[in-house]
Amino acid sequence: MSKRTFLICPVRGVDPAETAGVVARLESEGWQVHWPPRDTNQDDPHGLQICRDNLAAIYSANCVHFIWDGKSQGCLFDLGMAFALHKRIVPVQMPELTPHKSFQNMVKQWSKGTPCYYCEHCMACPELRCQLTSSKRKRNLGSLKGRAVPNKRDSLPPSWCPLQKTS
């Protein structure tokens, strides 16, 4: 299995040389790196195609490395897509943690590899295949108002998971 990663990093208003060293290091470690300044066509007046291209590349990646300066909206968007696709993330650089609830605290917790628990159909990174991991988590999911998140007792159609391959 090849090691494929998507490197989330700021693109607009940033010199690509600032992140090129990280790309070189990852590639020297055997990663096939999708690096948006190099591998995503940035000639898009609205950004929608950039987001679609990045989504496809994140989907194809085994995991996602990221450099986030705390300001880049594109980084936040790409991190959101990685979250929705249940990808394992590896922080390379990010803002300092805060003593209160914050995006960087959430991302740090996510990067620790806590398995997701939304479905059993997920085709994401093998190390993080979706699973219900504890009876406490099952109880918490089952008690959500409107049952917004299914639990293991629910029979989910394969189409519920956006990663489920359909034929």
Residue type, 147: R
Residues 68 and 138 in one domain: no
Specify burial of residue 109 (Cβ count, 10 A radius: 0-12, 13-18, 19+). Answer: exposed
Q: Please indicate, yes or no, whether residues 76 and 131 belong to a single structural domain of this protein.
A: no
Mean pLDDT of 6-11: 97
How many of the other CB atoms lie within 10 Å of CB of 36?
23
pLDDT in tens, 52-108: 999 999 999 999 999 999 999 999 999 999 999 999 999 999 999 999 999 999 999
The last residue of a domain, from among 75, 93, 114:
114
Residue 36 has pLDDT above 80, yes or no: yes
Contact 10, 72 (CB under 8 A): yes
Q: What is the CATH number of the domain that holds 50?
A: 3.40.50.10140
Both 37 and 107 in one domain: the answer is yes
2: phi > 0 → left, psi -120 to 50 → alpha, else beta; which?
beta
Task: Please give the average per-residue pLDDT across 7-32, as a whole number.
Answer: 96
Burial of 163 (0-12, 13-18, 19+ CB in 10 A): middle
Same domain, residue pair 18 and 72: yes
pLDDT in tens, 109-144: 999 875 444 444 344 444 334 433 333 444 444 444
Co-location of 104 and 125 in the same domain: no
Query: What gap in Å lies between CA 68 and CA 130, rounded to an integer?
Result: 26
Q: What's the structural domain count of the chain?
A: 2
Considering the domain architecture, whether residues 141 and 161 belong to the same structural domain is answered as: yes
Is residue 149 located within the same domain as residue 68?
A: no
Query: Which long-range contacts (C-beta less than 8 Å, at least 24 apart) are formed by 40-46?
Result: 42/11
- Calculate mean pLDDT across residues 8-32: 96
On whether both 123 and 106 belong to a single domain, the answer is: no
Do residues 21 and 97 both lie within one domain? yes
State residue 114's pLDDT score: 52
Scanning the structure block, which residue is given the tokens 């960087």? Answer: 104
18 vs 157 pLDDT, higher one: 18
104 in the same domain as 45: yes
pLDDT at position 1, please?
A: 66
Count Cβ atoms below 10 Å from residue 44 Cβ, excluding itself. Answer: 13
Is 26 in contact with 7 (CB distance < 8 Å)?
yes
Same domain, 30 and 88: yes
Residue-level pLDDT at 132: 34
Residue 106 lies in domain? 4-114
| Domain identity same for 75 and 49 | yes
